[in-house]
Amino acid sequence: MIKHYPNGVPFQENVTAQSGSSFHTAPAQENVIYGNRGMSLEQEINLSNKYYLENGIAVIHKKPIPIQIVDVNYPKRSAAVIREAYFKQASTTDYNGVYQGHYIDFEAKETRNHSSFPLNNFHDHQIKHMKACEKQQGICFTIVRFVTRQEIYLMPSHLLFLYWDNQSNGRKSIPYDQIKKESYLINYQINPRIPYLIGVDQLIQKLKMP
């Protein structure tokens, strides 16, 4: 029987013995970081972006949630309070910014599916937006986390477009094997936690090739 820590990480009785003198090896480190400490993919990407920003590597931000404000109170001597507002559907993707002269634009999505990534994670206007950005030579992709596999991929948008545009064939998801083959696996690190710009570098190299 596998026991678990309260944070969901499996308890390994022999982990101390195993790591012992090899405290800095990759597997031991990965075990710790894979626990995620309850962080969502979004939180981890935000932290990674903070690292990239503070180290002058890239300027990439999550966009605020679009909101329709209906009523605002302006109390004396304190901050304005929004008293009635509604969530609006975003017309673009969640993240964008600039990296070494490249415009960067992406979505971040998690799935508990094991063998495919469902296309209903996207809205039509997000696909339209990414297509428009690519036409302007922007670098567009999705960061996909397969929760049950503990794997993160940087999936180039051409793969997403291919399956999106052929949904009428009946296939409503992108097979895991296809993503694994055509995307860039992003391994967790200490800092930045999700070093996705490594995948961006590879994608840019590939796009440059004739």
Length of the chain in terms of residues written: 210
- Span near a copy of itself by CB under 8 A; candidates 8-16, 20-28, 77-85, 142-150: 77-85
Element (H, E) at 154: strand 151-156
Q: If binding is defined by CB under 8 A, does position 103 make contact with a copy of itself? A: yes
Q: If binding is defined by CB under 8 A, does position 101 make contact with a copy of itself? A: yes
The answer to whether 196 and 154 are in contact (CB under 8 A) is yes
CB 23, min distance to a copy of itself, A:
36
Count each helix (H run) and each strand (E run) in the chain, helices first: 7, 10
Size of the site for a copy of itself (CB under 8 A): 38
Name residue 164's amino acid.
W
* Strand-strand pairing, 139-146 and 102-111: parallel
Binding residue per annotation — 126?
A: yes
From the list 128, 130, 124, 131, the residue with the least C-alpha distance to 107 is 130
From the list 101, 84, 94, the residue with the least C-alpha distance to 125 is 94
Binders of a copy of itself among residues 52 to 71 (CB under 8 A) are: 53, 56, 58-59, 61, 63-67, 69
Binding residue per annotation — 136?
A: no
Residues 6+ apart with CB under 8 A from 113: 146, 148, 173, 176
DSSP assignment letter at 73? E
What track of x and - describes contact with a copy of itself for positions 14 through 53 (by CB under 8 A)?
---------------------------------------x
- Span near a copy of itself by CB under 8 A; candidates 6-14, 117-125, 128-136, 186-194: 128-136
The answer to whether 83 and 141 are in contact (CB under 8 A) is no
User: Considering only residues 22, 25, 40, 100, which one is a binding residue for a copy of itself as defined by CB under 8 A?
Assistant: 100
Residues that bind a copy of itself (CB under 8 A): 53, 56, 58-59, 61, 63-67, 69, 79-87, 91-92, 96-103, 105, 129, 132-133, 135-138
Specify binding-site residues for Mg(2+).
92, 94, 107, 126
Specify binding-site residues.
92, 94, 107, 126
